[in-house]
Amino acid sequence: MIRISPSILASDFTRLAEEVEDVVKGGADFIHVDVMDGVFVPNISIGIPVVSSLRKATDAFLDVHLMITKPERYVGEFCDAGADMVVFHVEASEPQDILDAMKTVIEKGKKVGLSVKPKTPATVLLPYLDLVDMVLVMTVEPGFGGQKFMPDMLPKIETIASMLSKLNPDCLIEVDGGIDPETAPLVKKAGANVLVAGSAVFKKADRAAAIEAIRNA
Ligand code: DX5
Ligand code: ZN
């Protein structure tokens, strides 16, 4: 089963509730929310108040991707704001703090995901794989929408899929960055089953067609 998670980073923020409703009607499985702090990545986007507002606007599954340093400081607040899954970067803190952040999310009754930047090897995830609900493999350098997909990430997706098949077969594998109907078949073949798409959904007039084009590619 392939899930599509449109990234609201590419949406019209003046009409956020309608934009979300449009992609949910169009078949989106998750709504991907990119949180950037200007420190972990060279860009600033949105934060906790927007997650609270989204929670009031939709019942859709909120897949919240934290590109922030020291996520252990804020994961609890993102859970309380209404995130269904909180995903943060394994590079963003010390190993014990990453574990503590994961445990906070789990204790809040939410799903937890861990993400790796393009230069981070899959093996860095090994200590956490038994606790994680989703691994997010970045297929661009995090920070901006609309970048070009990095095909050299495909072997890493395969490695993670093979590690998870032994250690945590229910764990989802999400990819994020440059996903469109051309790149989607490559990541699916490598083992990804949750596809984030910003530009390839929100920059199209017909969001239902855009989502189906990625899902069925
Ligand atoms: C990048 C973000 C992505 C971004 C994807 O740092 O994590 O979620 O919105 O945008 P596209 O699909 O346009 O590459
Ligand atoms: Zn993202």
pLDDT in tens, 87-96: 999 999 999 9
CA of 146 to the centre of ligand 2 (A): 11
Please, which pLDDT band fits residue 170 given cuts at 50, 70 and 90? very high
- pLDDT tens figures, 23-58: 999 999 999 999 999 999 999 999 999 999 999 999
* Cα–Cα distance for residue pair 19/126, rounded to 1 Å: 37
Q: Which ligand is nearest to the CA of 6?
A: 1
- What pLDDT, on a 0 to 100 scale, did the predictor assign at position 73? 98
The maximal CA–CA distance of the chain, rounded, in angstroms, is: 45
**Closest residue to atom 4 of ligand 1, CA basis:** 145
Q: What is the pLDDT of residue 44?
A: 98
Q: What pLDDT is recorded for position 99?
A: 98
Q: Which residues, including other chains, have CB under 8 Å from residue 124's CB and lie 6 or more apart?
A: 90, 91, 116
- Say which residue the tokens 């979300």 belong to: 20
**Cβ neighbours, 10 Å, residue 12:** 10
Pocket of ligand 1 (CB under 6 A): 7, 9-10, 32, 34, 65, 140, 142-147, 176-179, 196-200
Residues 29 and 215: their CA atoms lie apart, in Å, by: 11
pLDDT at 112: 99
Which pLDDT does position 64 carry in this prediction? 99
Looking at every residue in the chain, the average pLDDT score rounds to 98
Look-up of token digits 């996520």: 71
Q: How far is CA 59 from the centre of its chain?
A: 18
pLDDT score, position 21: 98
Residue-wise pLDDT for 87-137, tens only, equals: 999 999 999 999 999 999 999 999 999 999 999 999 999 999 999 999 999
Write down the pLDDT at residue 128.
98
Q: What is the pTM of this model?
A: 0.98
The pLDDT of residue 169: 98
> Given pLDDT bands bounded at 50, 70 and 90, which one contains residue 161?
very high
Distance 162 CA to ligand 2 centre (A): 23
What pLDDT does residue 18 have? 98
Structure tokens, 205? 């007039």
Q: Give CA–CA dist 214/97, Å, rounded.
A: 36
